Amino acid sequence: MKEIQSYIAEHKNRFLNELINLLKIPSVSTDTAYKNDVLKTADAIKTSLEYAGCDFVQICKTDGYPIVYGEKIISKDLPTILIYGHYDVQPADPIELWDSPPYEPVIKKTEKHPEGAIFARGACDDKGQMYMHVKALEFMTSTNQLPCNVKFMIEGEEEVGSVNLSTFVKNNQEKLKNDVILISDTGMIANDIPSITTGLRGLSYVEVEITGPNRDLHSGLYGGAVANPINVLTKMIASLHDDDNHITIPGFYDNVEELSKEEREQMTKVPFNLDNYKKALDIDAVYGETGYSTNERNAIRPTLDVNGIWGGYTGEGAKTVIASKAYAKISMRLVPNQDWENITKLFKTHFENIAPKGVTVKVTPHHGGQGYVTPIDNIGYKAASKAYQETFGKTPIPQRSGGSIPIVALFEQELKSKTILMGFGLDSDAIHSPNEHFGIFNYLKGIETIPYFYKYFTALSK
Ligand code: BES
Ligand code: MN
Ligand code: MN
């Protein structure tokens, strides 16, 4: 593409400042206290899409937060790329672990980002990565190099399960019609090892509640004579894995796809250093399912993890009490072919079955979604691969990720098109954690690489 590097160099400071302004708005979708900020962010995205050259932009109301839709249609004979991203972010807590305030972006150098990185909640997930697409469009429209049609669909509820987006997609098939969906909301291996995400795990997220006695009890007067909901809950949770760290829920593995020897062999070729992995996390050993490598455990195997657990007295000092109730939030990451609604049912039945007498169990499903794999023999993948070759000088490695973007499987089902995941974040960018950041190199490289995807996808479509 003509002048892409010089265009980026010329507008670099503005590109950074615009992103920084977006990051200053705390668009936390899970917490209603931030409602106005989430709505304000949607307005800001609308303005930025208009500035970038969309002919038509609208804020589409839903039962939850709005979806920002924008398009630039240049010819019905040309292919259409649908860009998806999200403008909502995860909560910043625990806020005291941030080195700088989460909504006051600062640029700092890190070992992985010697050119500097922007530190703020949402910098990488997903405002920074979503905004690369807005700036890539600006470049293409302002230099008359947009080779095809483009539609943008930026939602505000990805971090809470995209429930209203599902309805929007089902009701707007014609409007969203496209030839390929392009998303930057994943990662790559390293700044000098580009990769394309070819798989996402599915998810089933549940909350459990164990109720024992009808009130909190004195732990001396009643201790030992009634079931303690917290003791019971932790014992039940512990029983969900066996000594090999296999999940014990009957039927859980029934539809799990076993990879062929060749595919597993292929995975071992992905550059990975276990010592560095352990060092980065300050752990002396990795942990997981017997018979699988670390890369396999977090990409092609399903998991069950407690995300939060509470009950009883957690204040200062000691209080002798047997709580009436205990709670936990549990997520199961699923692999392709495992149906999340079925897994949720299996979990519920099993969890109710293993409860001892003396307590009652309530399982409340939250959200979920199916896993996804993209084949690498389609023109979308090929276009992405050529784009990386152009800007990184290397062929990107296809790699499955352990994370989830549940809406992607629904896109395929409803819109009948493949999704290409061109992520530019690093695993060390601390998404969902304190001190989330996004490398300036990654941000600008993303803006540089995206227009080549448009170019090659259009060329390969002919
Ligand atoms: N962008 C992430 C997912 C992701 C990150 C996938 C890195 C692959 C690599 C997304 O915003 C996210 O956090 N998804 C949630 C699921 C959602 C239903 C809350 C997740 O994976 O926990
Ligand atoms: Mn995301
Ligand atoms: Mn996220």
| Statement: residue 410 has pLDDT above 80 | yes
Q: Is 199 in the pocket of ligand 1 (CB under 6 A)?
A: no
Residue 423 lies in a domain: yes
Q: Report if residue 118 sits inside a domain.
A: yes
Q: Does the C-beta of 161 come closer than 6 Å to ligand 1?
A: yes
Specify the pLDDT at position 377: 92
Residues 321 and 382 in one domain: no
Q: Which of 29, 30, 154, 159 to mutate to test the pocket of ligand 1 (most atoms within 8 A of CB)?
A: 159
| Distance between Cα 86 and ligand 3 center (Å) | 9
Q: Which stretch of 251-265, 279-293, 415-429 has the lowest confidence by average pLDDT?
A: 251-265
**What is the number of the ligand 1 atom nearest to the C-alpha of 421?**
8
High-pLDDT (> 70) share of the chain, %: 100
Same domain, residue pair 236 and 215:
yes
- Which of 158, 196, 295, 400 most suits a substitution to test ligand 1, by most atoms within 8 Å of the C-beta? 158
State the total domains in the chain: 2
223 and 331 co-located in one domain: yes
Give a yes or no: residue 275 inside a domain: no
pLDDT at 212 over 90: yes
- Looking from the CA of residue 185, the nearest atom of ligand 1 is 1
Does ligand 1 come within 6 angstroms of the Cβ of 436?
no
CA of 11 to the centre of ligand 3 (A): 28
Q: What is the mean pLDDT of residues 361-382?
A: 94
For the CA of 205, the nearest ligand: 1
Domain boundary among 346, 369, 392: 369
Minimum CA distance residue for ligand 1 atom 13: 159
Q: How much distance in Å is there from the Cα of 346 to the middle of ligand 3?
A: 26
Is any ligand 1 atom within 6 A of the Cβ of residue 185? yes
Burial grade of 411 (CB within 10 A; 0-12, 13-18, 19 or more) = buried
Residues, beta carbon < 5 Å, ion ligand 2:
125-126, 185
Tell how far the Cα of 461 is from the centroid of ligand 2, in angstroms.
Answer: 28
264 within a domain of the structure (yes/no): no
Which atom of ligand 1 is nearest the CA belonging to 197?
8
Is residue 290 a part of any domain in this protein? no
Ligand 1 in reach of 71 Cβ (< 6 A): no
Q: Has residue 2 got a pLDDT over 80?
A: no
- 218 and 177 within one domain: no
Res 375: pLDDT:
87
166 in the same domain as 51: yes
Same domain for 345 and 393: no
Q: How far is the CA of 231 from the centre of ligand 2 (A)?
A: 35
404 CB near ligand 1 (under 6 Å): yes
Residue 28 sits in the same domain as residue 71: yes
pTM of the model: 0.94
Residue 454 inside a domain? The answer is: yes
Same domain, 116 and 211: no
Among the bound ligands, name the one nearest to the CA of residue 422: 1
Domain end residue (candidates: 369, 388, 414)? 369
Q: Is residue 226 located within the same domain as residue 363? A: yes
pLDDT digits 0-9 by tens, 289-304: 999 999 999 999 999 9
Residues 27 and 88 grouped into a single domain: yes
The Cα 154–Cα 88 span in angstroms is 9
The finding on whether 331 has its CB within 6 A of some atom of ligand 1 is no
Tell me, what CATH number does 141's domain have?
3.40.630.10
Q: Which atom of ligand 1 is nearest to the CA of 425?
A: 7
Round to whole Å and give the CA distance between 8 and 84. Answer: 22
Domain that holds residue 313: 202-256+302-369
Ligand 2 centroid to residue 175 C-alpha, Å: 24
Among residues 336, 369, 402, which one ends one of the domains? Answer: 369
Q: How does residue 266 score in pLDDT terms, banded at 50, 70 and 90? A: confident
In a domain, 285, yes or no: no
What is the CA(404)–ligand 1 centre distance, in A?
Answer: 5
Contact 107, 440 (CB under 8 A): yes
331 pLDDT above the threshold of 90? yes
Specify if 225 maps to a domain. Answer: yes
- The pLDDT, as a whole number, for residue 9 is 98
pLDDT at 279: 96
- Ligand 1 neighbourhood includes 158 CB (under 6 angstroms): yes
Q: What is the CATH number of the domain that holds 335?
A: 3.30.70.360
Segment 63-69 shows an average pLDDT of 98
Check whether residue 71 and residue 191 sit in a common domain. yes
Tell me if 126 CB under 6 Å of ligand 1. yes
Say if ligand 1 is within 6 A of residue 448 CB. no
Q: Are residues 439 and 356 in the same domain?
A: no
pLDDT, residue 252, reads 98
